[in-house]
Amino acid sequence: MIYIVDTGASNRVAVERWLNFNDISTCELSDNIKPNDIALIPGVGSWDEVIKNLITNGQWDILLKHKNSGGKFIGICLGFQLLMGESSEGVLPGLGLFNYELIKFSENHVKVPHVGFNEIVNNTTKELNECYFTHSYFLPVNKIDDLNTSFGITNYGCDFISMIETKNCLASQFHPEKSSFGGDFFIEKIKKLIKC
């Protein structure tokens, strides 16, 4: 089962609609979540504001417990970012599944935010996909020291990590639920994560 987090500022409804349309059932995040279940953090929102909301509504605790028990995660956009350790968008610590720091695109080099369809290239398989992005903060490629993980790389002024795929986690800076056919490959990955 996929448990969807209510961040108080997300497009949760759109993510639900997309998953349900693809025959994946969902429910709202609660204490009932087991490590083999998936906690999905949807996008939209700003870093500190969303973390504060989640602390207040008790879901941050559930997420931390889920992480500590080795549970499965899906993160989309801000949800991807919240899986990291910190972000220059705010001062509060993230969930820290990955100990990386997000930084802001430089307005001297590119228009901020990065909005629109862009390419995602897998670092090992070179598989190419195209999905919709909208974000101002990103995970720089040079922050990554782990070469065994499967990453998606995107370029906007510089290369950045747009997707992370591990045994128990699937995280995308882009919005697969907003990418029309472009998001279909992500549905396949979600189905795989559910089964494993």
Partner 1 sequence: MLKKRIIFVIYYANGSFFLSRNFKLQKIGSVEYLFDKFGFADILQGLDELVVLNVEKNREDFSLELYNSFINKLLEKAFVPITLGGGLNSEADVNHKFSLGCDKVLFNTALFENIQLVENTILRFGSQAVVANLDVLTVNNEYCVFSNNGIKLVGTLDHACNIIRNLSFGELFLNSIDRDGTGFGPDINLIDKISILKPLILSGGYGKPDHFNILNLKNVDAAATGNIFNFIKGGLNMTRTYCKSINIRR
Instruction: Please report, as ranges, the residues that interact with partner 1 according to CB under 8 A.
Output: 9-14, 17-18, 21, 43-46, 49, 78, 107, 111-119, 130, 132-136, 155-156, 175, 177-181, 183
Rounded to whole angstroms, the Cα distance separating 83 from 96 reads: 6
Rounded to whole angstroms, the Cα distance separating 59 from 183 reads: 27
Torsion of CA 78, 60, 13, 24, to 10 degrees: 100
Please indicate whether residue 114 is annotated as part of the active site.
no
- Which CB, 30 or 155, lies closer to partner 1? 155
- Which CB, 101 or 130, lies closer to partner 1? 130
In degrees, to the nearest 5, what angle opens at C-alpha 92 toward C-alphas 137 and 50?
70
For the beta carbon of residue 175, count every other beta carbon within 10 angstroms: 24
Q: Are 79 and 93 in contact (CB under 8 A)?
A: no
Pick the catalytic residue from 16, 86, 89, 177.
177
Pick the catalytic residue from 77, 114, 131, 169.
77
Q: Are 4 and 38 in contact (CB under 8 A)?
A: no
Please indicate whether residue 131 is annotated as part of the active site.
no
Minimum CB separation from partner 1 for residue 153, in Å? 13
Minimum CB separation from partner 1 for residue 123, in Å? 18
- Which CB, 35 or 140, lies closer to partner 1? 140
Helix (H, G, I), strand (E, B) or coil at 73: strand
- Which CB, 71 or 183, lies closer to partner 1? 183
Minimum CB separation from partner 1 for residue 51, in Å? 12
Minimum CB separation from partner 1 for residue 64, in Å? 23
Query: Which residues are tagged catalytic?
Result: 77, 175, 177
